[in-house]
Structure 1
Amino acid sequence: MKSMLEPGIFKPTPSRGEAKSDATTRLAREIMSGEANARIAKTERLRAARLAQEVAEPAVPPVAKKTRGKRAK
């Protein structure tokens, strides 16, 4: 015998407002997910370019700043 709480038997139908809200939420999440994926891809691309540049160019040691002597009071 089948249970009365079996999924798929009694599917609640959302109201028009709920359906529109769900569609808006889904679309907003898709947009945010796409933007996040684009940001991650850009970060990876820039990181790879920076590492390639660091390998191609030798590191220049920083120039020491001249220090001023102590002031006499």
Structure 2
Amino acid sequence: MTATKDTFFKPEKVSPQDKAATTDSVARSLIAAEATARERKTEALKALRMQREATEAESAPPPKKRAVKKAVKRG
């Protein structure tokens, strides 16, 4: 038996529907993975923001009261 391209690589015809189905499934899996990663990142950032706001609220000095100026009538 001689080694030829045909014995190692059997070219098979793939129908357009199969190609479309493969492309669709790969695209959907990529989109789902990106959405999951985005949701995880959003949750982590939200937790960090809530933690930072809580520490800032505890350590923040009370707001200063502003002096009210009285209007002066002229004339």
TM category (shorter chain) comes to 0.5 to 0.7
Instruction: Give the paired residue count.
Output: 56
Which of 38, 42, 51 is matched with 2:41 structurally?
38
The Cα RMSD (Å) is 2.5
Cα separation, partners in 2 of 1:62 and 1:33, compared to 1, 3 Å: farther
Task: Mark the runs of 5 or more structure 2 residues left unpaired by the alignment.
Answer: 1-16
* Cα distance in 2 for residues equivalent to 1:17 and 1:40: 34
Q: Which has the larger radius of gyration?
A: 2
Pairing of 1:1-73 with structure 2 (within 5 A): 15-60=18-63, 63=66
Structure 1 residue 58, shift from structure 2 partner: 3.1
Cα separation, partners in 2 of 1:64 and 1:15, compared to 1, 3 Å: farther
Task: Mark the runs of 5 or more structure 1 residues left unpaired by the alignment.
Answer: 1-13, 69-73
Cα separation, partners in 2 of 1:57 and 1:32, compared to 1, 3 Å: same
Cα separation, partners in 2 of 1:41 and 1:17, compared to 1, 3 Å: same
Q: Which runs of 4+ in 1 moved over 4 A?
A: 61-66
Identical counterparts, % of pairs: 9
Greater helix share, 1 or 2? 2
